[in-house]
Amino acid sequence: MTYRVGWIGCGRHAEQMLLPQLARHDVELVAVCDLNAETAQKIGRRYGVAHTGTDFRALLDVPGLDVVGMAVGPTQHRDMSIAALERGCHVFMEKPTGANVADALAIQAAATQAGKTVGVGFMKRFATANRMAHNVVKSAEFGPVAGFFGEYMTAPTYFSGNVDYTGFYLHHCVHYMDLVRYFVAPVLNVTVFRNETAPGKQLLHVHFGFENGAIGTVVMGTIQSRGTPMERLQIMGDHQRVEVNGVIEVTHFRNPPFKADDLDATLADGVDNLSWKPNFTAAANEDFKGYNALFKAFFAQLGGANTDLPTIADGVEAMRVMAAMLEGIARPGACVPVVR
């Protein structure tokens, strides 16, 4: 079916990342809303939208909406998603699912009451290389995960002038609060070590204990340039591991024999390492960051398919892990349990 979509929040992220990928699916964008009237009108012209405005309540009054999408702020995500659910609409929201666990739980309760789906913008699950890595890790061949390592940095651009790391935690760190559980298992506890080198410039080493006994560390911070690659991850098993660099290159390291003294050595299927990176010379309109695949899972789930779409339940869990991380920042070195 063709889904009639209303969209709230038409800033740069929605304009450049979300709406172009949304438009690849069987949707009719029938209403857009932004606090800046000119921005809403610009997006409206681009997509041939009849209703543009600055009041999200007016958008919700547009007849026949199936889905309301949004990319706004944490508390707005809470209030606007609940309002949309009460109107009988499915919701797609960018992360985070509110400003705290209570907000996420309120959205979950509204979704349950309405019997509707809330998809959450944890697109890192769907980045092509991450997706391939996940499929390898969850295969019978890989076996139990023993450890996880991640690195996800950003610059102090938004934080050094007015030192408030809230946006860094809610819009940046929250991705890995979801991703570690997606690759490994539910998180049991969190320990944090922090180094603030200057106001607005901090480095975090966040250690995770998982319910399956695995351990993990994610390095996050605001001390790198946005102009350099800033993300990688490693998932380690027994005699094998998967590594992803920059969300575009994946390598599966296995257990190859030494070959220097074997004159007949060749590349052996099943033991030698495998690697992949995208063909950027191809003309395909691919989306290696994962937004297109995320929308594909969202609409497939609305149609009744069983997907691994990150839903509000995943949003609640990510916020619970985030709450433990924030407590860990306040208590460096303490092992903080995730409260459920």
Look at residue 312 in the predicted model and tell me its pLDDT: 98
Domain boundary, last residue among 93, 120, 147: 120
Rounded to 5°, the CA angle 48-54-60 comes to 75
Domain of residue 199, CATH code: 3.30.360.10
Helix (H, G, I), strand (E, B) or coil at 76: helix
pLDDT digits (tens, 9 = 90+) for 107-145: 999 999 999 999 999 999 999 999 999 999 999 999 999
C-beta of residue 209 within 8 angstroms of C-beta of residue 145: no
Q: Is residue 237 part of a domain?
A: yes
pTM of the model: 0.95
Question: Omega into 96 within 30° of 0, i.e. cis?
Answer: yes
How much is the average pLDDT of 262-269? Answer: 91
- d(CA 91, CA 116) in angstroms, rounded, equals 8
C-beta of residue 183 within 8 angstroms of C-beta of residue 148: yes
Are residues 265 and 140 both part of a single domain? yes
**Cα-Cα-Cα-Cα dihedral of 191, 196, 200, 201, to 10°?**
-90
Residue 234 bridge partners (DSSP): 149, 243
Q: Is residue 308 part of a domain?
A: no
pLDDT digits (tens, 9 = 90+) for 27-36: 999 999 999 9
Q: Is residue 88 part of a domain?
A: yes
- Name the pairing type of β-strands 274-276 and 336-337: unpaired
Are residues 258 and 114 both part of a single domain? no
Are residues 145 and 276 both part of a single domain? yes
pLDDT digits (tens, 9 = 90+) for 75-115: 999 999 999 999 999 999 999 999 999 999 999 999 999 99
Are residues 7 and 112 both part of a single domain? yes
In which residue are the tokens 């969209």 written?
A: 7
Are residues 229 and 80 both part of a single domain? no
Residue 4 bridge partners (DSSP): 28
Chain mean pLDDT for the chain: 95
Are residues 164 and 268 both part of a single domain? yes
Domain of residue 75, CATH code: 3.40.50.720
pLDDT digits (tens, 9 = 90+) for 267-287: 999 899 999 998 888 766 677
Are residues 82 and 196 both part of a single domain? no
Are residues 8 and 97 both part of a single domain? yes
Task: Produce one character per residue of 103-134: b if its CB has 16 or more CB atoms within 10 Å, e if not.
Answer: bbbbbbebbeebebbbbbbbbbbbbbbbbbbb
Look at residue 161 in the predicted model and tell me its pLDDT: 75
- d(CA 172, CA 79) in angstroms, rounded, equals 21
Exposed/middle/buried for 316, CB within 10 Å: 0-12, 13-18, 19+?
buried
Are residues 209 and 91 both part of a single domain? no
Are residues 31 and 113 both part of a single domain? yes
Q: Count up the domains in the chain and report the number.
A: 2
Full domain range(s) for residue 97 = 3-120
Look at residue 282 in the predicted model and tell me its pLDDT: 79
Domain boundary, last residue among 64, 92, 120: 120
Short-list 329, 323, 289, CA closest to 98: 323
Exposed/middle/buried for 4, CB within 10 Å: 0-12, 13-18, 19+?
middle
Q: Is the pLDDT of residue 58 over 90?
A: yes
What are the structure tokens assigned to 212, written together? Answer: 């399956």
Are residues 140 and 221 both part of a single domain? yes
Residue 124 is classified by DSSP as G
Helix (H, G, I), strand (E, B) or coil at 84: helix
